[in-house]
Structures are given as C-alpha cells and as structure tokens.
Chain A
Amino acid sequence: MNPRSTVFSSTLTRRNLLTLSAALGGTALLAACAGPSVGDAGQAAASTAPAQDWTGIKPASSITWWTNHPGASMATEQAMINGFQAANPGITVNMVTAGANYDEIAQKFQAAAGTDSVPDLVGASDVWWFRYMINQQIIPLDGLASHLNANTADFNTTLYDDYKYADSHWAMPYARSTPLFYYNKTLWSAAGLPDRAPATWDEFDQWAPKLSAVMNGAAPLGIGKGTSWAAWWFCNIMWGKGGAYSSDWSMKLDQPETLEAGNYLRRIINDDKSAAVSATDSTADFGAGLSACTVASTGSLTGILASAKFEVGTGFLPAGPKGAFTPTGGTGMAIASSKSPEQQLAAGMFLKYLTDAEQTATFSAATGYMPVRTSAMDGATMTAIYAKKPQFRTAVDQLKNARSQDWARSFVPSGDKYLTTALEQIMLQNSKAEDVFPKASADISTSYDQNVKPYL
C-alpha cells in the first residue's frame, strides 16, 4: 500500500473540483443567511425604541441570571435567590456561573446574542455595559425602576450614574468596588511610620526609603500590570495630577498633567525603586509579605484579610496636587433587550431585590464590595461589620473621592488594552510617557471612529 495515498491525497481531478465547488457554493448560501443586518455607517446608529409600558404586564415564572459570583459570593448569591423566591413564590431564578470574571461573562453574553441562550439578567462591568448598550443588547432601566418603585435616589450617585448615557441608566450597581491602599502594619511599625496610609504620593515618596530599609532594600509598593487592571488604578495618580485619559470623547493623553503622571509612575519603579511590578498577582504578593503595601480592589479585602499573616491596614488612595480621586469599578446588573416584557419585568423585580438596602449590605459584608445604597452604608448590618473589621469602613468613606472613569478606557473597544500597553512600556521598559502615550491616543481615536461613533 502506498502511504502517500492514505495520508494526504493531493490528486485534483475535475470531478473533485466540481464536488468541492458545489460544497463551497452550498455552504456560502448558508453562510449568507446568518449574521448581522448590514448597512452603511449612517444606518448603523441605534434607533430609539418606544418606552415600554409596564402596566398590565405579568412577571414570568422563571428567569436566568448570569453571574461570576464576584468576591467568591456563590453561597451568598444563592441565599439571596432563596430570599427572593420566598418573597415571590411565583418566580424561580436560575443562577448560572457564566464565567470566572467580568470579561468572561461579557464574552459569553455577546457570543450568545441572537440565540436562545441569552440570560434575562447579566453582569455588566464598568468596561462592558456601554458596549452592551451600543449593541442594543440591554434595556434602559429608568422606566422599569419607576414602575417597581426601586428608589433609585437612594443609590450612591456616582455608582448609579456610572451606567448613565443619553439620560438613561442601563444597569444598576451591584458588586461595586474602588481601589484601596493596603499596608502591612508590621513593616509600617518597623519603619517607624504612623499607622495610616500616606496622604499624598509625595508623602509616599518620603516614606518609601524607610520601608525599603526594613525590607532588605526591596521595593515597598507592589503594583499590578495587565489589562482590566493597570489602567484602572493608574487613574488615581493621573487624576491627582490633573490629567485624564479623555474628556468625553476627546483624548487627553497628550496634556502635560497626564504625561507627568505617566513619568511619575516610570520614576518610582525605574529610578526610585520604591515600587515594583508583581509577576502575576500583586494582591497575593502583598498577602505573602513580599511587598509592604499595594493598591488593590475593595473586592479583594476579604481575601487579603483571610490570607495575610500580619495585621492589614487600609487607607484612601494617596492624593495628588489636584486632589484625591479614586476610580470606581466592579459590576452592575443589566436586563437583556431580547427577552419578553414578562421576562424583563421578573428580572427587574429580582434586580430590585438584589440591590435593596438589606441585600447590598449582606453582599458587602460577605465580600468586601461596597454597599451601593446610601441607606445601607450606615445601616445596622454594615455598622456591625465596621465594628468587627474597621477596614471595611475605608472603602465606604473613600466613595466621596470617587469619580466615573474616562470614556477612552471604559467605553472604547480595546481602549483599556491600548492604555495598558502604554503603561506596561512605562513600567517594564522604562519608556517615557511622551514616547508611548501618543500611539495609545491614536489607536483609541481610531477605535472610537470605527467601533463606537457609527453606532451612537
């Protein structure tokens, strides 16, 4: 037997060619039958659907909820479902673990568009909800919240307005976080520092050599890299110096304050050696005692407190010359547009329950994420938590410094990636901000022109 004929037959006959052509032609016809509706740039813009009249709509008996259980909250979420079902016996909530993080949830939600697998309620993180909106995958919630008397005025304004665009709110805040400054009290004490986070980055610069001296010369501040992270916490340094990624859709990466912030980051890592980029997980490195302090999410609070073998202090992110600012992050919950009004109403009822004062406090106590309602922040549940673990109070108090993120990062596809690449060049390759921010700015502008503008 000739192995050649059994492994790869390269004989091309007229009959083979005709057969192949027929197969390809048939599948081409099938292929043309699927996919999005195609128009020119002017036709792609979102059409305004008439507002849904919820009067007379009966809630569906079963809904599906896609979550990634932020802060290892699966048991807490199941308990909240049980509570909702007990209060609403006619509605069953099917909880689906649809990913390990916000990005995986979003990828699945987008891939499921146009199929029967779309959930009724879905996680909508700070960098994804806007894309859901321009893709017309979710509904505005103002009318539904009003119909359900959801008391949206009680939401923390910054956290609720993070989901606002074109005078509508497209999600409700659920597992919301900010970065916090975590420090190792043992090392702090050894360095003779006061038991608090540095009030400003200037003060950190003064404290860093003292910390380094008690760490055998190691860099005291451990910081993280990578997408969905570096460009988030850097907002604190940048805004503190008066810079910004963008103002609405106008890029601001070339303004002196933004460049100064980038170069400050370069200096503390590459010149001062007061900060070091963690290999994989800056939070884990801090918990293991490799760094004296770190910038990590409030959502990591419970994990850090559980893993650290030393006393953990928390404080506000240091201020810059223009003030103290912190970005907000985490995820909200949105309702799918492709579902029936009955499904949407049931999902809205569950969302109202998930985000009420009692549930948000319960969720916060279990995970470290912030309570999203003003009334919950000083309610009985949170007060008991503050007494037990005062670190929880820091995140809530820091909300007064919260600022919604610049659109260049949170609304433009690949915006976070382009910014992260520039910041990694600064951190890992000692590049100057002037050399790397212009490319990020140009790439984000192109992405906006191609991927956002035609759909607005």
Chain B
Amino acid sequence: MTSTATRRRGRMARNWLMFAALAGPNILLLIAFTYKPLLQSFYYSTLQWNIGSSRAISVGLRNYTDWLTDSQTPHVVGVTVVFTLATVGGGMVLGLSLAVLLNRRLKLIGPARTIVVAPYVLSGVAVGLLWLFVFDPNFGIVAAVLGFVGLPSPAWYNDPQWALVMVIIVQLWKNVGYIALIYLAGLQAIPKDLLEAASLDGAGPVRTFRRVILPLLGPTTFFLSVTTLLSSLQSFDIIQAMTKGGPLEGTTTMMYEIYREGFVAGRAGYSSAVATILFVVLLIVTLVQMRFVERKVHYA
C-alpha cells in the first residue's frame, strides 16, 4: 500500500516536472509579454505620463473621463464600428462566396486558390503602399478605369467618407483570402453523404446551401466571426500606411487613436486608458459571442 502511494506520488512529481518543463517557458513568455504589459497598461491609464519621461502624475480616472467626454470620441467610435462591421461582415460574405467557387473542380483551381490567399500573407504596410498608388486620383488604376467610363475619381484622400471606404476595401482585399481558406476547409469537411441525401430528397443547390451547408459551416462561421472581429478592431497597419487616420480623422479607429495618442502625442496615460477601454470592449464582445452566438452553432 505504502509503495503504491509512493509510486503514485513519484508519478505525480514526474508529471508535474514534465508539465513545468513543457508549459513553463510558454507561461513565462505569456506573463512577460502579454499579462504584465496588460496590467501595466491598466496602471498607466491612471497616470498623466508623457512617454519617455521618468516622471508621472497620478490622476485617477481622469484619462477615462477625458476620453468619454471628448467631442471627438463619438466620431472615433463611429469610425471603429463602421470599419469593423464592414470588414467583418463584408469579409465573411466575400470569403464564403470565394470558398464556394474555389471548392469546385475547375481547371487551374490550385493557382486560383493561391492567388486568393496570397494577399493575406503580405505585410499590411506593403499592401497599404501598393493601394496608395491604385487609388491615386491622378495616376491610379481606379481613376483610369473610372475615367474610361466617363466618371470622376472619388476624393479618396480628401473626403473622410471616401477615405474610410478606401481603407475598408483594402482591408477586405488583404484578409478575404484567409476567410476563404478557412471556409474552404469547412466546406471540404462536410460529409458528401449529407449532400447526396439532400439531393435525393429533392433539394436544389440554393436550398442545399441554406439548409445543409450553411448550418454545417456554423462552427467555422463562429470561429471566423470571433477572430476577424478581433483582428478588425485591432487593425492598424493599412490605416497608418495609407491615411494616417485622416483626412479629418475620417479613418481614425480606436486602435489608431491608441497609437497616435501614445506615440505621436506622447500621452502614454491617456493612450493606455483608450487601450483599456478597447480591451474591455473586445472582452465583452467575445464573451457575448461565446455566450449567445455559439448556442446557435450546430456541431456535426
């Protein structure tokens, strides 16, 4: 009995050692580069601190009240919501459509899949610089095409609304390949016998898609809705490369405001307060998705 208990304890100790050896480095890295900065950010949000300075002033919740009462805040929140809904919603619809196309047995489907996914692996800054030329109202391809049919180029860079449309288009172009790729994997995981059964029951392509394929893609859609929502809310590189939040702050999202206040204005405390608010928003949105949306997901 005693030797059995000793062996069990020894096994437990070995398991713990193995756990510490395998998970320890990851946990330490997470603490150092995720949780510690996260908590530091909470702390800094209570300071009036010029980044770079070794001195700061404790101001309690003033940074939060300043942001909440700033007349620009509703505009920034509005831009964030429009940008996020357009890139997530538009991305899901376009991505699913592309995935359906790419799931067909067509000639050159391999290269087509590569072409669709390729923009996702490009650097956001490179993509932004590339599209900067595409949308140039004097020399860009878009202006040339519109001019060919007798239309003027929109003021992509001087009109806040068009500027927002422009960065949404570029964000969609960059990320739709990723969404299509995940949806394609989801489509290919659907059992063929289910589709054959639906066909035998007389369901046409549209009905099969609505009643069989879409529900079975539920887990994929749920996964994509969470991940693309989080990445859209944190999008930064394309906006920085193309518009720097302008014109007239027409493309300033909360994420961009965090960067601009922290590193351009040097207001580290204020920037941390906005970052904390965005963190809370992301947490709530994710929890709501998990609590309410996931219930409606059908797992095969």
| A interface with B by C-beta (< 8 Å) | 2-4, 7-8, 10, 23-24, 26-28, 30-32, 34-41, 43-44, 103, 107, 109-111, 113-114, 131-132, 134-137, 225-227, 277, 279-280, 285, 288, 290, 413-414, 417, 421, 424-425, 428-429, 439, 447, 450-451, 454-455
Contact = CB atoms under 8 A, between A and B. Distances in A.
Contacts of B44: 35
Contacts, number: 155
Interface stretch (B93-101, B153-161, B228-236): B153-161
Interface in B24-65: 27, 31, 35-36, 38-40, 42-44, 47-58
B244 interface: yes
Interface string B128-166: 000010001111000000000000000111110000000
B50 A455 contact: yes
Given A113-B53, A136-B54, A2 B248 contact: no
Interface stretch (B167-175, B201-209, B264-272): B264-272
A10 B283 CA distance: 13
Contacts of B51: 110-111, 113
Contact of A225 (B136, B138, B158, B260): B158
A280 B71 CA distance: 27
Interface string B78-122: 000000000000000000000000000000000000000000000
B290 interface: yes
B49 A131 contact: no
Contacts of B43: 31-32, 35
B266 A110 contact: yes
Nearest to B139: A288
Given A3-B299, A424-B248, A31 B57 contact: no
A31 B36 contact: yes
Contacts of A131: 50, 52, 266
A90 B58 CA distance: 46
Given A28-B39, A38-B56, A413 B267 contact: yes
B294 interface: yes
B253 to A, nearest CB: 16
A7 B56 contact: no
19 contacts: A3-B219, A23-B31, A24-B35, A30-B31, A31-B43, A34-B40, A35-B40, A38-B47, A39-B55, A39-B57, A39-B58, A111-B263, A135-B53, A226-B244, A279-B137, A414-B264, A417-B265, A450-B48, A451-B265
Given A30-B36, A136-B54, A279-B157, 8 more contacts: A10-B290, A10-B291, A36-B49, A111-B52, A131-B266, A136-B53, A417-B260, A428-B158
A450 B132 CA distance: 37
A37 B55 contact: yes
B39 A31 contact: yes
Nearest to B300: A3
Contact of A280 (B42, B50, B136): B136
Contacts of A41: 57
Interface of B: 27, 31, 35-36, 38-40, 42-44, 47-58, 71, 132, 136-139, 155-159, 219, 223, 226, 244, 246-249, 260-261, 263-267, 290-291, 294, 299
Given A23-B35, A455-B53, A2 B299 contact: yes
Nearest to A114: B54
Contacts of A4: 294, 299
A448 to B, nearest CB: 12
Given A10-B290, A28-B39, A421 B248 contact: yes
Instruction: Pick the 6 closest A-B CB pairs, nearest first.
Output: A110-B52, A135-B53, A36-B56, A279-B157, A31-B39, A27-B35
Contacts of A23: 27, 31, 35
A429 B161 CA distance: 12
Give the interface centre of A103, A132, A226, A279 by most chain B CB atoms within 10 Å.
A279
Contacts of A454: 48, 57
A279 B136 contact: yes
Contacts of B265: 413-414, 417, 447, 451
Given A27-B31, A32-B43, A135 B138 contact: no
A144 to B, nearest CB: 21
Contacts of A450: 48
A79 B47 CA distance: 45
A413 B266 contact: yes
B276 to A, nearest CB: 13
Contacts of B38: 27
A317 B244 CA distance: 28
Contacts of B58: 38-40
* Of listed B35, B53, B158, B260, residue having the most chain A CB within 10 A: B53
B158 A37 contact: no
A103 B290 CA distance: 41
B296 to A, nearest CB: 13
A279 B53 contact: no
Nearest to A4: B299
Contacts of B246: 225-227, 424
A89 to B, nearest CB: 34
A121 B91 CA distance: 47
A450 B39 CA distance: 24
A375 B31 CA distance: 58
B248 A425 contact: yes
Contacts of A8: 226, 290, 294
A31, A226, A288: most-surrounded residue (chain B CB, <10 A): A31
B248 A428 contact: yes
A268 B186 CA distance: 58
A60 B51 CA distance: 28
A43 B54 CA distance: 12
Residue among B42, B52, B158 with most chain A CB within 10 A: B52
A8 B293 CA distance: 13
Contact of A44 (B57, B137, B155, B223): B57
